[in-house]
Every structure is written in C-alpha cells, then in structure tokens.
Amino acid sequence: MTLDFSYTALPGRVAFGRDRAADLIASELERLGLERVMLVAGEGEAALAERLTAGVRDRIVTVFDGVRMHVPNAVAESARAAAASAGADGLLSIGGGSTTGTAKIVALTSGLPIVAVPTTYAGSEMTPVWGLTTDARKETGTDLRVLPASVVYDPALTQTLPAGMAVASGLNAMAHCVEAFWGPGANPVTSLHAAAGIRALAAGMRARASGAEGTEAADGEDSLLYGAYLAGSSFAVAGSGLHHKICHALGGAFDLPHAQTHAVVLPHVLAFNAPALGASDAQAMAQALDADDAVTGLRRLYADIDAPSTLAELGLTRAQLQEGIGIVAARLPIPNPRPVSPDDVAAILTAAYGPEA
C-alpha cells in the first residue's frame, strides 16, 4: 500500500462521562486556571446551565443568553461586549451548535479559551470553524482561536432531546462524517475517524428510533455522542465542501433550521458525489452503513429513523428555492471531488426541495 498524505492533529482536550458534566466542568475550569468566566447558554438551556454550574458560581462573572441560530452579527456584537465589560478570562458554553457558535465568535476577536458542553450532536465543539450571519448572508472561516480548549461530553445531557431533534442533530453529525471523506484536507486518518463516526451515529439513531429503554437506550446515547465527537474531529481536519456550502447559504439566507437542513440536503449531495469517490472510501462508507453502497445505506437509515426529507417541509418556498440556487451557484467553484456547475446546483436543490418543486 502506497500512502502520500499529511495530517495535522488539532489541540484540545475531551472529557467524556455519563452524569459527570458538573464535576468535569469544575475540573476543566480549574485545570485551565479560569476564574472570571462568561457563561453562554440560550434561554432554553438556562435551567440546565444553572444546575451544572452550581459548584462553580464563584467563577462565573456574567451570563449571555441571547443565543440565536446562525449567529447574527447583532448577537455577536452583544456577546463580545458582554465578555469585555465583565472582564472575562474564559467562556463556558452549555448548549447546542448555536451556543457553541456564539462562544466561538467571541473567542475569534478576544482569544478567550472555551470550555464547551454540547447538548446536541452538532460536532462544532471539535472544530476551529466559526460562522457569522450579516444581512442574510452567512460567512464562515477557520481560526484556531475558536477551537475549544476543553470539551465535556455527557450522554445524560443529550438523552432528553426530543426524538425529532435527536434525529436531525444526529444527521447533522452524519453530514460532517460523510463530507470528511471528500473535504479539501481529507486523508486516511480523517476517513478512518469518519467511518467510525458513521457507524456509531447510525447505531445510536436506530436505537433512538426503536424506542429502546434502559441499558440499551443508554448504550445508544453513548454511541450517538461518541459518533458526534468523531464527526466533529474528522470534519475539523478534512474541511468543508459542497454540502456545507449549500447548507450554510440556505441557513443564512432564509433562517432555516440548521440541523434539519443538513439532514435533508445530505442524501442528494452524496448521490451526486458517489460516482467520484475512490474505491476504498466508497467501500468504507458503505460498510459503515452496513450496505453494498453508501447511497442505499444512507437512504435505508433515513427510512428507519423517519428523517426529515424535503426543504419544503422546513418552510422553504418555491421563490426562495430559486433564490437559493442563485446564491449557491454564485459561490462556485466549490471544493468537491466532482466538478459542480450551476445546473448541478439547481438539480441537487430541486431534488432536495421535494415533489412540490
């Protein structure tokens, strides 16, 4: 076997343990020497955040709860001002991808270290990728300042997710794994992590969908959150391509729900790119999905877990579909294993929109 690749491991620490989030938060803040922390948690996460930080109240100097999806510029400015006014020396984010993203946008300009406690399977806590929406256009970038210094994973925090949100969030993580196979920085190490992530996520989502209880349910949740970690860590190195460019464009322009948009678009981008995948990657992805080919395996998984299937059901209108095609096409060329034309963008998005298109 002849190999020719480069791989840069990213700095950061992961602490994983069921029902241990509060203790792990305290130990990670202590380890990093953080004494004036801004807590970032949306209003829906306030009660959970209060419970998890009961033992470190003396270290929290302010709370920012103005979290919004896709991190609008006004939210970013407000969060940055709050951290500066309080003299914060670190950030503690407790919540989903939008919460992590808000902490990241503060870290981008301040350099403050982040301790991230994810409550969904977003995976963004493992990446140095930031996102900011200005005038309905979402901009993304990569900067090591936004990569959390510590990540606390506790499956007990995700086990209470409503079934629909768990499916969508899990498929968002799945999208990170799939795109890691063809991202601009993809290599054998990221593909290995991505395949393991796909396998863990699929098993966990099927356990969720089956209504498993007791030990089986706990094992499924552990698998889901472990898969999310693998998804984020593989995507962080491999980078983004066509799938994420589409989803970020649609989310920023039309305020579509982030995870659900990823879930709907993924099968269509995979079907488009499948013919261009190398034989080893195609086989690894198919095996991780327990199928003869990845497209069939992913579609079977979607059927098993009752996944969201169309952009129309997420609220996108026909007029917005056409606008969205134009927005994505204007960003071409996009890194991708197969060349993408404006007609290809239109075909992918029209298929994702659903029969109503």
What are the structural domains of the chain? 13-158 (3.40.50.1970), 163-353 (1.20.1090.10)
Q: Which of 272, 269, 270, 264 is nearest to 316 (CA)?
A: 264
Q: What is the pLDDT of residues 66-83, one digit of tens each?
A: 999 889 999 999 999 999
Average pLDDT (1-17) is 85
Would the pLDDT of 340 be above 80?
A: yes
Per-residue model confidence (pLDDT) at position 1:
55
Pairing of strands 137-142, 129-134: antiparallel
Reported residue count of the chain is 357
Residues facing 62 on adjacent strands: 38
Q: Provide long-range contacts, Cβ within 8 A and 24+ apart, for 130-136.
A: 130/101, 130/104, 130/105, 131/70, 131/71, 131/101, 131/105, 131/248, 132/71, 132/73, 132/76, 132/105, 133/70, 133/71, 133/72, 133/73, 133/252, 134/72, 134/73, 136/252, 136/253, 136/254
Q: What is the pLDDT of residues 93-134, one digit of tens each?
A: 999 999 999 999 999 999 999 999 999 998 989 999 999 999
Most confident of 6-15, 214-223, 239-248, 340-349: 340-349
Per-residue model confidence (pLDDT) at position 357:
52
Average per-residue pLDDT for the chain:
94
Lowest mean per-residue pLDDT among 39-48, 249-258, 261-270: 249-258
Would the pLDDT of 350 be above 90?
A: yes
Per-residue model confidence (pLDDT) at position 356:
65
Category of 112 on φ-ψ map: left (φ > 0), alpha (ψ -120 to 50) or beta: beta
CA quadruple 65, 70, 73, 74: dihedral positive or negative?
negative
Q: What is the pLDDT of residues 149-168, one digit of tens each?
A: 999 999 999 998 888 899 99
Q: What is the pLDDT of residues 24-69, one digit of tens each?
A: 999 999 999 999 999 999 999 999 999 999 999 999 999 999 999 8
Report the percentage of the chain scoring pLDDT > 70: 99
Q: What does the alpha-carbon distance between residue 110 and residue 310 come to, in Å, rounded to a whole number?
A: 39
User: Can you give the pTM of this predicted structure?
Assistant: 0.92
Average pLDDT (195-224) is 93
pLDDT band for position 217 (50/70/90)? confident
Contacts of 251 (CB under 8 A, 6+ apart): 69, 70, 138, 257, 258, 261
Q: Residue 338: phi, psi to the nearest 5? A: -125, 130
